Structure 1
Amino acid sequence: MDTKNKGIVIPHEHGGWAMISVPFLFGMMAGTPQWSHGLLFVAWLFLYLASYPFLQALKRSKQRAHLLKWSAIYGIIALAAVLAPLIQKPALFYFGIPFVLLLIVNIWHVKQKSERAIINDLCAILIFSLGGAAAYLFGDGGWDWTMLAVTVFNSIYFLGTAFFVKTIFRERGNSKWKTAANLYHVLILVVPWALGYPWMVLPFIFPLIRTLLFAGKQMRPMKAGILEIVGSVQFIVVSWVVF
C-alpha cells in the first residue's frame, strides 16, 4: 500500500491471492463451470479487495479516510458484479451469513492486535473456502456432501500452509510449532479417506514433504512465496484430475 502518496490500495500478501483463487477454482471444477462464473469471481475478488483496506482502517487512524474510500470503491464494484449471479442463483445470499460472522472474528482480532493468532487465520481461511462452496453451488451444485468436501479440502490445505509459514517466520525455533505442523500434515492424510475421496490424498503429499523438509528452518520470504505458489498450483491441478 502506498501510504505516502495515498495511491491505490491493494493487498500485498501473496498468500491472499492464492486463497482467493484456488478455493474458487476448486469449487467451480467440482460443479459445472459456466461463463457466468467469471462475473461471480469478479464479485468475490473485489469483496476481498474491499475487506483488506477496511480491516487496515481499523488500526491505521492516519490513513483511515483513504482506506475506507478504497474499501467503498471495491465494495461498490463487488456489489455491482454480484447482482446478476444473485438473480441467477438467489441461494448465494446465504453465504453472507457465515461470511459476516467470520469477518466479525477477524475484526475482533484486529482490534485486539492479535491478527497472527491461529484462530484468526482459521477464520480467514474459512472465509476464503466459502468462495469455493459458492462457486460449486453456482455451478449447479447443491447443499450436499460434495460442497462439504470442497470446503474441507480447501480449508485443511490452507490451514496447513498457515502452520508451515509460522514455523519458518514468527515461530521459527519453537519446537512445539514445528512438531504441530509436522503432525498436522500427517494427520490430514486421513481426511480424504474419511470423506470418501481417497485419491485426494495426492495433492496433500507436496505440502507434507515441504513441511518435513523445511519446517522450523530459516527461509527467505521469496523462497517461501515460491513454495506457496508451487504448492497452490499443484493442489488445484492434481485436485482437478482426482476429485
Structure 2
Amino acid sequence: MKKSKIIIPHEHGGWAMISVPFVFGMVAGETRWMHALLFLAWLFIYLSSYPLLQSMKKHADRSRLYRWGVGYGSFALACLAAPVIDTPSLIYFSAPLLLLLVVNIWHAKHRSERAIINDMCAIVTFSLGAAAAYRLGGGGWDWLMAELVLFNFLYFMGSVFFVKSVFRERTNKRWIAYARIYHTAAPFIPIVVGFPYVAAAFLFSSVRTFMFAGKQMRPMKVGIIEIVGSVLFAILSVITIQMYV
C-alpha cells in the first residue's frame, strides 16, 4: 500500500503569521504552560485549514485532503480542550474565526485566493491568535487586546503589499505607490493609539518597501527579507509592549 505523503502549507509566510502574533499576545499577559497547548491547537487548526481549503478547488484526491484535514483538526481539538476548560471565554473566538473562514472558503471555491479581501481576512484570523494568547494569560477584553490584533494586522498586511510589489504587481506603478503610502502611514498608527515605542517595530518593513518595491527579486531573497523582518518585528514588539504592561 502506497504511503500517504504528508500535507503541509507551502506558504512560508504562514509560519510567521501563526507564531509571531501568538508570542506577542502571550508576553502581553502572563505566560503560562497552558500556552503550549493553546499554541499546538492554533498550529493544527492552521494545518487543518490548508487541506480543507485545497479540497474546495481540487476534484482529484479529495478523500486524502479530507483525511489530513480531519486528522489535524482532531488533534487541534484535543489540545484545545484543557485551555478552554481553564479559560472558557476562549470559545468566543470561534464565531469570528468561523466567519473569516467562510470568506476564505468562498475565495478558494472561486479560485481567487490572491484577492486582497481574502488576504485581509486571513491576516485578521492569524492576528486573533494574539488576542487568544493574551486572554489565556489573564488579559481582559480591553483596548490592549484590540491593539495587539491591530499591530499584527498592520505588520502582516504590509508584507502582503511588499510581496505583491516585487512579484505580481512589480510593474504596476499604482500598486507600488499604495505599498509605499501604506508603509509610510503604518508606523504612525501605534503613535496615534498611544503606543509610540511600538512604531520602531515597523521601521524595517517600511525601509525594505522603499528600497525594493517595483524591483525584480528572487523568491529566496524575498523569503530571507521576510524572515528577518518577522523576527525583528517579534523581538521589537515584545520589548516595546513590555513598556506598557
TM-score range, shorter chain: over 0.9
Question: How far apart are residue 184 of structure 1 and its match?
Answer: 0.2
Match for 2:63: what amino acid?
A
Give, in whole Å, the separation in 2 of the partners of 1:206 and 1:197: 17
Q: Which amino acid aligns with 1:132?
A: A
Match of 2:183 in 1: 185
Structure-2 residue corresponding to 1:206: 204
Is 2:79 aligned against 1:77? no
Identity level (%): 56
**For 1:103-127, what per-residue CA distance to the aligned partner results, in whole angstroms no more than 9, with x for missing partners?**
1001111111111011100000000
TM-score under structure 2 length normalisation: 0.96
1:8 aligns with 2:6: yes
Partner of 1:224: 222
How far is the alpha carbon of 1:199 from its aligned partner?
A: 0.4
Q: CA deviation at 1:5?
A: 6.7
Q: Quick one: distance in 2 between partners of 1:216 and 1:111?
A: 31
Q: CA deviation at 1:90?
A: 0.3
**2:87 is matched with which residue?**
89
Moved over 2 A (4+): none
- Give 1:1-243 correspondences, 5 Å limit: 6-243=4-241
CA distance in 2, matches of 1:96, 1:176: 37
Shift of 1:63: 1.5
Paired amino acid for 1:8: I
Question: Which letter maps to 1:98?
Answer: P
Number of aligned residue pairs: 240
Q: Distance in 2 between matches of 1:188 and 1:11?
A: 28
- In structure 2, list runs of 5 or more residues that go unmatched: none
Deviation string, structure 1 residues 132-179 (Cα, Å, up to 9, x no partner) = 110000000010010011000000000000011011111111001100
Displacement after TM superposition at 1:188 (Å): 1.1
Q: Give me the TM-score of the superposition, normalised by structure 1.
A: 0.97
Gaps of at least 5 residues in structure 1 are none
Of 181-190 and 74-83, deviating more is: 181-190
